[in-house]
Amino acid sequence: MNLSFLLSAVEQAGIFAILALGVYITYKILDFPDLTVDGSFPLGGAVTAVLLTKGVSPLIAMPASLLAGAAAGFLTGVIHVKMKVRDLLAGIIMMTGLYSVNFLIAGKANLPITTSTGMKTLFVNPTVSGLFGAARGDEAPLSFLREYRVLILLFLLIVLLKILMDLFFRTKLGYLLRAEGDNERLVSLLARDGGTMKILGLMLANALVSFSGSLYVQYNKAFNLTDGTGKMVIGLAAVVIGINLFGKIRFLRPTTAVVIGAVTYNLCVALALKNADANVKNLVTAALFLLVLAAAYIRLPAKKKKENGKEEQV
């Protein structure tokens, strides 16, 4: 195994860690199985790709992808809360609809971002070139870290988002969001509308997912209409591994555990797929996820398995 393979695997894992932080909000905090993810991930990609190919700065394209994701989450929430559609179905409707919306936004199924013709991305722009050098061997303050520039940028972003999330979940609004997933009835007793909290949670989650999709197309320098396929599973696996495996470590916050879970899972997938055809990827992703779920259940203490007389499921 060579170093550049490992490096690119970790970089991809870092992008998916942000996706996992979004899925953590819906799946773990809100207890809402939100399938919008497979649509909102490429939504962020489509918005970013279109803006970047028009020469817009990534500093505008990335917040735009956040807003697009929040809008998608808002619609899923409204469909579920106001139109009383089941959570799973609300996500499926949005996921299906977004596929075409993404196509309409991008204008075609493939949209390359040609940095060689001057388009800028978060990873390729004058500031990054100035810090790390434009090409190998260039004189720059941090040129010795040039190989790791993508990783450093991703790391900083993940840490920033993680800290913001941790702070948010200590606020009154954050507490109420956790309460909504934990005991809906109590939120009503506190004289608050639980439906609004659900919508808010879905907006935050899909904003993060869409942001992750934005980073994904900037990293790959292309948008693909099928980018969203299997992303739900990647996010879920990261959350389950993170919470069940690393969540037990006392000093680790759940958000940190989820990030570590995302990196672990995606490294495993990358290693398993090292010499395989890219189209086999979904089978490996799903099989590894199943393995994780089964392992997590076996690890549950016997008491927890039948808490309140109900069979506990991972």
Partner 1 sequence: MILSLNHVRKVFNPGTVDENVLFDDFNFSMEKGEFISIVGSNGSGKTTMLNIICGSLPIDGGEVVIAGKNMTGKHDFIRYRSIGRVYQDPTLGTCPNMTVLENMALAENKGKPFGLGFCVGKKAEERYREMLAPLGLGLEDRMHVRVGSLSGGQRQAMSLLMSTMTPLDFLILDEHTAALDPKTAETIMILTDRIVREKNLTALMVTHNLRYAVEYGSRLVMMHEGKAIIDIKGEEKKRTTVDDLLGTFYSISVERGN
**CA 213, CA 72: separation in Å to the nearest integer?**
13
Report if residue 178 touches partner 1, rule: CB under 8 A.
yes
Number of residues that bind partner 1 (CB under 8 A): 22
Structure tokens at 98: 């977004």
Q: Are residues 263 and 47 in contact, defined by beta-carbon separation less than 8 angstroms?
A: no
Q: Which of 6, 89, 159, 173 binds partner 1 (CB under 8 A)?
A: 173
By CB under 8 A, tell whether 249 contacts partner 1.
no
Residue number with CB closer to partner 1 (138 or 193): 193
For position 138 contacting partner 1 by CB under 8 A, the verdict is no
Nearer of residues 136 and 172 to partner 1, judged by Cβ: 172
Binding span for partner 1 by CB under 8 A among 96-104, 189-197, 222-230, 278-286: 189-197
Minimum distance of partner 1 from residue 179's CB (angstroms) = 5
Which member of 42, 58, 194, 230 binds partner 1 (CB under 8 A)?
194
Residue 174 binds to partner 1 (criterion: CB under 8 A): yes
d(CA 17, CA 264): 10
Please state the φ and ψ torsions of residue 112, each to the nearest 5 degrees. -80, 145
How many other C-beta atoms can be found within 10 angstroms of the C-beta atom of residue 30? Answer: 24
Q: Which stretch binds partner 1 (CB under 8 A): 79-87, 128-136, 166-174, 218-226?
A: 166-174
Nearest to 82 by CA among 191, 198, 180, 201: 198
Nearest-approach distance from CB 20 to partner 1, in angstroms: 19
- Which part of the chain contacts partner 1 (CB under 8 A), choosing from 67-75, 129-137, 177-185, 228-236? 177-185
Distance (Å, whole) CA 56 – CA 180: 39
In which element (H, E) is residue 191 found? none
Residue type at 83?
A: M
Query: d(Cα 211, Cα 47) in Å, to the nearest integer?
Result: 10
Among 182, 282, 290, 306, binds partner 1 (CB under 8 A): 182
Q: Is the dihedral of CA 249, 176, 182, 204 positive or negative?
A: negative
Q: Which residues bind partner 1 (CB under 8 A)?
A: 168, 170-176, 178-179, 182-183, 185-194
